[in-house]
Amino acid sequence: MTRILLLLVTSLLSFNSFARSSGEVLLDAKYGEHERQAFDIWLPKSIKKTPLVVYIHGGGFVMGSKDEIRKNNIINKYLKAGIAFASINYRYLKHAPLQTIFREDIAGFIQYIRFHSKRYNINSKLIASHGFSAGGSSSLWLGTHDDIADPENVDPIKRESSRIIAAGHLSAQVSYDFIDWYHYFDPEKVDLYVGSQVWSRYHLNSKEDLFTPEGIAIRQDVDMYENMSADDAPVIFWNGLPDVESEDGGHFMHSPRHAKLLFERAQKVGLEAEIILDGDRTIKSDVMGEAFKFFVRKIKEAKRL
């Protein structure tokens, strides 16, 4: 309870030093106690509450930073369109298991920003998320996972919804239930390129642990492929690698097959989705620009509902 009160007091103090009026940039703000639970946010000039698009960096949950997007001109495109933009950090696997990072950091930020939507002049019903690799899969997890809101929680932030209106899965993975990868890919390559990640990402001790009740529950919780349903957030899938036999671990982890499998799954369950495969094109698409156009369309559609 003391921690909750401390966070609320800190939030109120931050409010007094941060203008809600718009056109503001706030860097290295905090949404949790850990040093990695930080975010940047850019707010457009707007009297009305604005939509928000969240960027989640990649790096396999072992590296990467929210700072990588700071100088990208795509942020100005969102601001000119009247859309706020945020970039977040999250704990690495050395700090917490994958399932905890998803719930407390990735979803936790969505809940945090919803609770503080008035401070940032955000329309809490119009939040989307995207990213590359781990960031793209994190966004898909948000889009396909049931709402983790806990209405009875003493922490008001945790009572907020974790759902988003659209997701961008950019050069990311098919599922984080790595046992499923043995069905989707060559099992020998899964062992070679994924190895102990099959179980260690969940902070389990062996492959056998994945088949215990705890292991099965964790795998179900992080399985974006199986959790996908028609009422989930619309998704844009993008992949820029050539569709050839994987030559190394990086290609294997980011193969176009990930996007293809997920798009086929979306079609099967009736989820609205788009796919762009750039690997064999002479002229590549502007991936961030394509995500921008997709989010603008989805935001407009959501406003009409």
In tens, the pLDDT along 104-114 reads 999 999 999 99
Model confidence band, residue 46 (pLDDT cutoffs 50, 70, 90): very high
Task: Encode pLDDT of 240-290 as tens digits.
Answer: 999 988 879 999 999 999 999 999 999 999 999 999 999 988 788 999 999
CB-CB contact of 140 with 178 (8 Å): no
**What region does 59 belong to: left with phi over 0, alpha with psi -120 to 50, or beta?**
left
Beta strands 38-42; 84-88: pairing state: antiparallel
What pLDDT sits at residue 149? 98
C-alpha pair distances (Å), 190 with each of 153, 180, 213: 40, 10, 23
CA distance 243 to 251: 10
At 222, list the tokens: 């992080």
What pLDDT sits at residue 15? 38
Give yes or no for residue 3 having a pLDDT over 70: no
CB-CB contact of 76 with 109 (8 Å): no
Give yes or no for residue 20 having a pLDDT over 80: no
CA distance 227 to 189: 25
What pLDDT sits at residue 281? 84
What pLDDT sits at residue 5? 36
CA distance 213 to 16: 47
What pLDDT sits at residue 23? 77
> For the domain 20-304, what is the CATH code?
3.40.50.1820
pLDDT > 90 in the chain, percent: 88
3-state secondary structure the chain: CHHHHHHHHHHHHHHHHCCCCCCCEEEEEECCCCCCCEEEEECCCCCCCEEEEEEECCCCCCCCCHHHHCCCCHHHHHHHCCCEEEEECCCCCCCCCHHHHHHHHHHHHHHHHHHCCCCCCEEEEEEEEEEECHHHHHHHHHHHCCCCCCCCCCCHHHHCCCCCCEEEEECCCCCCCHHHHHHHCCHHHHHHHCCCHHHHCCCCCCHHHHHCHHHHHHHHHCCHHHHCCCCCCCEEEEECCCCCCCCCHHHHHCCHHHHHHHHHHHHHHCCCEEEEECCCCCCCCCHHHHHHHHHHHHHHHHHHC
What pLDDT sits at residue 227? 98
User: Tokens 């009875």, residue?
Assistant: 152
Least confident of 18-22, 80-84, 252-256: 18-22
For the segment 52-70, the average pLDDT, to the nearest whole number, is 97
Give yes or no for residue 296 having a pLDDT over 60: yes
Task: Encode pLDDT of 113-151 as tens digits.
Answer: 999 999 999 999 999 999 999 999 999 999 999 999 999
Query: What is the residue-averaged pLDDT of the chain?
Result: 92
CB-CB contact of 90 with 37 (8 Å): yes
Q: Which of 20, 7, 74 is nearest to 46 (CA)?
A: 20
Give yes or no for residue 17 having a pLDDT over 70: no
What pLDDT sits at residue 18? 41
What pLDDT sits at residue 11? 42
CA distance 169 to 135: 8
What pLDDT sits at residue 50? 97
What phi, psi does 35 have (nearest 5°)?
-60, -25
What pLDDT sits at residue 128? 98
Task: Encode pLDDT of 169-191 as tens digits.
Answer: 999 999 999 999 999 999 999 99
CA distance 259 to 43: 31
Model confidence band, residue 38 (pLDDT cutoffs 50, 70, 90): very high
pTM over 0.85: yes
For the segment 61-71, the average pLDDT, to the nearest whole number, is 97
Give yes or no for residue 8 having a pLDDT over 50: no
What pLDDT sits at residue 247? 78
User: Tokens 């989640």, residue?
Assistant: 56
Give yes or no for residue 82 having a pLDDT over 60: yes
What pLDDT sits at residue 226? 98
CA distance 71 to 40: 12
**Biggest distance spanned by C-alpha atoms of the chain:** 58
